[in-house]
Amino acid sequence: MKIIYSVLLVLVLLSGFTLATSYAGPEKYGQEISNRKIIPIKDILADPKAYEGKIVTVEGKIATECETGCWFYIKIGETNATIYVDTAPGGFAIPQKVGRRVLVEGKVVVKKTGPMIMASGVEIR
């Protein structure tokens, strides 16, 4: 009988641990995201000059990512539109998380190739 109770106790503890880790919240990298007002990426792509030099918060899914996690592209919904995010100037990298939802805060920089975000903080959900 003691064995059954011991096994049940272990199962309860394991299931509790599994639930706790699955609700742990977003993974955070770099600085804490201070502005939760989301700017649609499509707005930045449509008028990059209006956002140049501004700190924005965007969200989407990671479409592609470098092997070391120092840059990635965020995909907008089911479209092929993406925006480049560079984490290296912020002094951090992220683990491989292609396909995961991401929240990014950073400065919009406009290059000849188009707008990009120099990330200061990232949350992966």
Domain that residue 106 falls in: 27-124
Number of domains present in the structure of the chain = 1
Is residue 57 situated within a structural domain? Answer: yes
| Whether the model pTM is above 0.85 | no
Is residue 12 situated within a structural domain? Answer: no
pLDDT one digit per residue (tens) for the chain, 125 residues? 566 654 444 444 455 544 444 567 899 999 999 999 999 999 999 999 999 999 999 999 999 999 999 999 999 877 788 999 999 999 999 999 999 999 999 999 999 999 999 999 999 99
Is residue 1 situated within a structural domain? Answer: no
Query: How far is 62 from 122, CA to CA, in rounded Å?
Result: 11
Report the CATH number at residue 31. Answer: 2.40.50.200
Is residue 51 situated within a structural domain? Answer: yes
Is residue 10 situated within a structural domain? Answer: no
Under a CB-based contact definition with an 8 Å cutoff, are residues 73 and 94 in contact?
A: no
Is residue 18 situated within a structural domain? Answer: no
Is residue 87 situated within a structural domain? Answer: yes
